[in-house]
Every structure is written in structure tokens, then in C-alpha cells.
Amino acid sequence: MKHNITTQLLSRTVSISVVGTGGNGSIVAMALPYIHQALLVAGHPGGLDVTLIDGDVVSESNCIRQPFSRSEIGLPKATVLVSRINLFWNLNWRSAPQRLADEHLLSDSDIVIGCVDTREARAGIEARIVGSRSRVAYWLDLGNGAEGGQFVLGQPLNALNARKADRLRTVAELFPEIVNPALDDHAMPSCSALESLERQEPFVNQTLASHAMAMLARLFRYGGLDHHHGAFVNIASQSVQPLMIDPYGWKRLMRSGRSTTG
């Protein structure tokens, strides 16, 4: 099956909110200017308008796997990244160095890209983009573990998407456990620099985020997606398993309760 892009996104500036600017989110944020430039060159009327949302500050361990330096320790991650992007690309994108406490923080977004590392945070995103008051067109979720992860593009069940029979199912619909805060492990200690290297295979975030951004770029370039709206990526086995655009497959997934990474 093929999915065609929501047509409004081809006729005006596209508002994107990136929630989380750590391992996956920082790479996503730095990839979005390339999509923005490509859209403008192709004749899109406004390209992308991006807001980075993250309440965390840069820590010492972040300087190992994430694109932050020791001179930035203690500064808000979202602000550091957006300042760097704006300076390099001559953009006027924004940061919101806060957690999702404001229920209206995502209300003006066309696309929400979730790059969070807890089920509680993912459930917070879902709560703000479903229902009659939300008009978010797409939710692109990325999550990873030690050796791989998954990315899923979906259309939240809300005022904009409710009547679409071919609506892409979201990560929360396909894998309900991924938004169950009771499954979060709050006992995990903060990673030291050494622990952050030992717990995860190198380039998991880069590989996962690159696949997700390539899919998002194709959505705009070709006006839709052929066959799949996400994938499972494994670094250890060098494998990518597509998540097909298939209503029958979605039903099987929801029945099977296949587990995903964080």
C-alpha cells in the first residue's frame, strides 16, 4: 500500500516540534536543515519551522555520545543545539528548554518527532496530540536500546486525522507497552562517561536517526511513502526490518503485543 502526504503540508511552512535532544534528537535536529533546504530548492513555499523541546541540560556523560562539548556542560541542550543550527544555516528556529508540562506546547505542530527515552515521556507526547483539540498531522517516534531500535511514523487519532480510513497507525497503537509508564525502570542509575560507552553499541543513534530522516525526506520529495512507514534497525546483525503499511499487519501486531525498545 502507499500513503500520500497530508496535502496542506505541501502548500505552506511545516511546523515541526522535536521532543528530546539527546542521542537521537540531536542527530534529528541537525538533519532537519538539509530537508528544509531541499524543500525550498524544490519549490516548497516555506520549508520547515522547527522547535526543539528538552528540559535537560548538558552533562559530562553527554559529551561522549552526543554532540556537546565540556564547555557546554550545564547549558540547556535544546538551546545549545538550536543556536548552533541557526548560526550555521542562517535560520530562526526556536528552543523550548522545558518539559512537556504545558498542554499547548505541541498544539501548533504539524509534525511531532519524539526522541524520548522513557515510556512516561512518550505517553506525555501521545496525550497532547490525540483527541478533538489536536491537529497534529504526524507523529514520528524514535526509540532505541543497546543494539538497535525502531522508528514509526503515524497519524494520531485527532481532529485532523479521525476521518481518514487509511490513517497510519502510531507507535502507541501498534505497541501499547511503549506508552505504559509502569514499565519504566526508575532504578537505573545515571550513566557515567564509561558506562554510556559500555551500554550501547557505537552509532546506534546515528543509524536509527538517519533511517528515520531518510523516510521523512522521501515523504516530502515523492508526496508519499511506498510500502512502509517505519522500521526496526539492529546494529549487531546489520539488519533493517521494515514496518509495512498494512492494515491487516497492524491488527496482527496489536494482537501479538510485539515488544519494542525504549
C-alpha cell at 216: 521523512
Nearest residue to 223 via CA among 49, 46, 42, 48: 42
| Other residues' Cβ atoms within 10 Å of the Cβ of residue 12 | 12
C-alpha cell at 236: 549487531
State how far the Cα of 47 lies from the Cα of 93, in Å rounded to an integer. 12
Which residues contact residue 91 at a Cβ distance below 8 angstroms, ignoring those fewer than 6 apart?
33, 36, 50, 85
Do residues 136 and 170 make contact, with C-beta atoms less than 8 angstroms apart? Answer: no
- Cα distances from 48 to residues 92, 133, 240, in angstroms, run 11, 23, 28
State how far the Cα of 19 lies from the Cα of 54, in Å rounded to an integer. 6
C-alpha cell at 62: 553527554
Which residues contact residue 185 at a Cβ distance below 8 angstroms, ignoring those fewer than 6 apart?
none
CATH topology of domain 2-256: Rossmann fold (3.40.50)
Place of cell 501479538: 256
Write the DSSP symbol of residue 188. P
State how far the Cα of 89 lies from the Cα of 162, in Å rounded to an integer. 37
Q: Residue 49, CB half-sphere, CA atoms under 13 Å: how many? A: 10
Alpha helix ranges (H) inside 159-240: 171-174, 193-198, 204-221
Nearest residue to 156 via CA among 166, 165, 167, 145: 167
Q: Quote the pTM value.
A: 0.92
pLDDT along the chain (262 residues), means of 10: 93 97 96 98 97 95 91 96 98 94 79 95 94 93 92 96 93 94 69 58 92 98 96 94 89 68 64
